[in-house]
Amino acid sequence: MKRQFDSITPELIRQRKSVHELCRQYTRSPSKGNLKRLKSLFHTCGEEVFIEYGFHMDYGDNIEIGDRVFINANCTIIDGAKVANSKIQIGADCLLGPNVQLLAVSHDMEASKRLAKANYADDIIIGNNVWLGGGVTIQAGVTIGDNSIIGAGSVVTNNIEENSFYAGVPAVKIRAL
């Protein structure tokens, strides 16, 4: 369910700037200390989570990451603010390839309404043991079932069945796994 929020309030602008600076700091120096600071921004973060350089997110406080997750270089998570009450959940044992984008925020489709600059956030739920190939984009409102694979370069606009391989733009089911 899409939830509207205003991302240009002074509070949310300050929060985003602070989070963006920490992401830049981690990219410049991907030390254990900077990784620990980055992980502390998440709502929850499991054990043995590794995040490569180039990681970017807007807020972090509604992101839940399971155990043993690997996030490759240049991952971008556009997450809704806490006031949007949406979440991005990444299950245990997931692999996110380089340049993956999780885009939980969208805007109005109607041009006149878009002038108001409203943001709409919706959940992204990624099950356990999911592999997102390089350059995959996940849109708002999508759930990906356990043990599934999304082929490199795919754009996921609809829910993905568990134990399945999907690929393409938009992603379609190729076969069961």
Give the active site residues.
107
Other CB atoms within a 10 A radius of the CB of residue 25 amount to 15
Beta partners for 140?
A: none
Residues 6+ apart with CB under 8 A from 100: 71, 72, 75, 76, 132, 134, 135, 136, 137, 138
The answer to whether residues 108 and 118 touch, using CB atoms and an 8 Å cutoff, is yes
b/e for 29-59, b at 16 or more Cβ within 10 A? ebeeebbeebbebbbebbeebebbebbbbbb
